[in-house]
């Protein structure tokens, strides 16, 4: 099963009711309401349940407990609730720390922009919203625009206020390249494939394909790359982490020469996933998706 084939579950009217309750009644009450909601999805969403079991077993080295799967799904649900408040710029409700902000500053001094490699470890949306609220520099976000998506719209995330570069469009990479040449920041997801251009990597001892496009973009533009994560640490605590990639693909790199960059990102993703396993928000068979390298 491909990740693009797994649609959002749940009634739109119930989502809207929950968003209204979040704004009207408050976060503490809604976090309690999440328990029966998460239990319902634990029982009824077989794909998400099995994906959680599979990932937690890979991280821990032994079969996961059903209580751990519940905690995993609850962590995801809690971040969905918090999107409502962050979309409304209510960051005073949260403790948001930014780790290694200086790496972005140093990268931008080179006047070649900065390419941030995000993932579904933590929330890419939360990282983008928090960064936009706390940092005035232009942030361009490469993301898949799904017309079926309801969660973002109901949460109040207005994509028109974000500088979105839709993935899959013929000029997506060109727009990102132009932004980098202007010295701007471009953020993209590097853990899921959009299209067929990919290279194999080892992730928790198993082979998986990861997208090639971010590294081609970095090579052609000469922009420094940083891995970034928007991590939920529990209760009202979030952490935005920037990590040095330490690899610098040459401008004329061939596809095979970009392998070290993809391997490095997979290594960093695995290291962070071991620290924050309940932040892994890929609720589909991650290793089993049919993917073909370029």
pLDDT band at 83; cut points 50, 70, 90: confident
Quote the strand ranges of the chain, DSSP E: 95-99, 114-118, 139-143, 163-166, 185-189, 198-203, 206-211, 225-234, 237-244
Query: Is the CA virtual torsion 163, 93, 239, 183 positive or negative?
Result: positive
pTM: 0.88
φ, ψ of residue 11 to 5 degrees: the values are -75, 135
Q: Which tokens go with 63?
A: 């079969």
Long-range contacts of 28-34 (CB under 8 A, 24+ apart): 30/81, 31/78, 31/81, 34/74, 34/77, 34/78, 34/81
Two structure tokens written together for 279:
């932040």
pLDDT in tens, 259-285: 999 999 999 999 999 999 999 999 988
User: Which residues have a Cβ under 8 Å from the Cβ of 60 and sit 6 or more positions away?
Assistant: 277
In contact, 262 and 228? CB cutoff 8 Å: no
Question: Is 6 in contact with 144 (CB distance < 8 Å)?
Answer: no
Query: How far is Cα 31 from Cα 52, in angstroms, rounded to an integer?
Result: 21
Which of 3-7, 86-90, 107-111 is least confident?
3-7
The distance between the two most distant Cα atoms of the chain, rounded to a whole number of Å, is 56
pLDDT in tens, 172-231: 999 999 999 999 999 999 998 876 789 999 999 999 999 999 999 999 999 999 999 999
What is the rounded average pLDDT for all residues in the chain?
86
- Token code pair at residue 171: 């000029």
Taking each helix axis from N to C end, the angle separating 12-24 and 27-44, rounded to the nearest 10 degrees, works out to 160
Question: DSSP of 201-259, one letter per residue?
Answer: EEETTEEEEEESHHHHHHHHH---EEEEEEEEEETTEEEEEEEE------TT--GGGGH
CB 189 within 8 A of CB 166: no
**Tokens matching residue 241:** 């982490």
Query: Tokens standing for 222?
Result: 């000469």
HSE at residue 161, side-chain half, CA atoms within 13 A, is 13
What is the tens place of the pLDDT at every residue in 89-104? 888 899 988 899 899 9
| pLDDT top residue among 213 and 157 | 213
- Residue boundaries of the structural domains of the chain: 3-279
């Amino acid at each position: 099963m491909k990740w693009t084939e797994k649609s959002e579950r749940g009634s739109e009217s119930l989502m809207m009711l929950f968003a209204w309750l979040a704004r009207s009644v408050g976060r503490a009450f809604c976090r309690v309401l999440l328990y029966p909601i998460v239990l319902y999805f634990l029982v009824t969403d077989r794909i998400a349940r099995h994906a959680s079991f599979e990932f937690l077993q890979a991280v821990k080295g032994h079969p996961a407990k059903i209580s751990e799967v519940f905690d995993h799904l609850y962590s995801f649900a809690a971040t969905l609730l918090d999107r409502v408040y962050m979309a409304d710029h209510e960051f005073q409700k949260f403790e948001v720390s930014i780790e290694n902000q200086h790496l972005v500053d140093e990268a931008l001094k080179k006047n070649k922009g900065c390419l941030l490699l995000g993932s579904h470890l933590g929330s890419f949306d939360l990282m983008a919203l928090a960064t936009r609220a706390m940092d005035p520099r232009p942030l361009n976000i490469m993301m898949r625009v799904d017309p079926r998506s309801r969660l973002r719209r109901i949460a109040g995330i207005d994509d028109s206020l974000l500088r979105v570069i839709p993935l899959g469009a013929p000029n997506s990479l060109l727009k990102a390249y132009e932004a980098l040449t202007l010295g701007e920041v471009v953020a993209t997801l590097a853990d899921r494939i959009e299209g067929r251009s990919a290279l194999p990597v080892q992730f928790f001892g198993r082979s998986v394909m990861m997208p090639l496009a971010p590294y081609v973009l970095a090579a052609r533009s000469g922009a420094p790359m940083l891995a970034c994560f928007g991590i939920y640490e529990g209760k009202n605590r979030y952490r935005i982490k920037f990590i040095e990639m330490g690899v610098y693909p040459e401008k004329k790199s061939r596809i095979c020469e970009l392998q070290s960059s993809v391997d490095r990102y997979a290594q960093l993703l695995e290291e962070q996933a071991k620290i924050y396993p309940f932040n892994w928000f890929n609720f589909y068979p991650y290793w089993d998706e049919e993917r073909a390298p370029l």
